Amino acid sequence: MRPLAIVGVAAVAVGVLAALDRGVAAAISPTSAVVTLLGVLGVVQGVRYANARRDRRRLLTDPGEPERRAPAAVPGTDLDERIARVVSPAPGGYRDRRDLRDRIREVAVDAMARDRNCPPEAAAAAVDDGTWTDDPTAAAFFDTRSGYPVRVRLSAGIRGRSNYWYGLRAAVDEIERIEGGAG
């Protein structure tokens, strides 16, 4: 064993004995020189430990790459994408427009049946003939026999949008109004 370790063990043993037996503590009776010597030894030991730490190599910890969250699906995103594709000025898309119109029609029929407390057949007839709303643009969206109002056709021509876009927007707004803004 190292000599310093032996001195340390002996000092701890004497300290424990002094704590347990008052006679040993009275026999030790340290003078001011002994207390100063113990203080100096404590300071020297502290400096020694500080110097030992100074020579150590310090390694930085790399926290790594933060965890990435998977994007959550937003309800209605597929419908938004479909609407954007259908109302775009790209040619074609008749089937997509018809499918979207049928989907919106089902929602309108359900809203009318709930709002007017009527059977789904009567609500479907009201949607098909345009009597389900006072808005002529929304009515023309489902009723293929009637045309869009002149102001809508002019606005569509000036702004470069399709009549379908105006009709779709009016129909969705009307369904939202019927549902009481619950959307």
State how far the Cα of 175 lies from the Cα of 105, in Å rounded to an integer.
10
Question: 83 or 171: which carries more pLDDT confidence?
Answer: 171
Contact 168, 87 (CB under 8 A): yes
Question: Which tens digit of pLDDT belongs to each residue from 22-38?
Answer: 777 777 777 777 778 87
| Model confidence, pTM | 0.53
- What is residue 106's predicted lDDT score, i.e. its pLDDT? 92
Contact 123, 132 (CB under 8 A): yes
**Helix, strand, coil shares of the chain as percentages rounded to 5?**
70, 0, 30
Burial class (CB in 10 A: 0-12, 13-18, 19+), 43: exposed
Contact 118, 112 (CB under 8 A): yes
SS3 141: helix
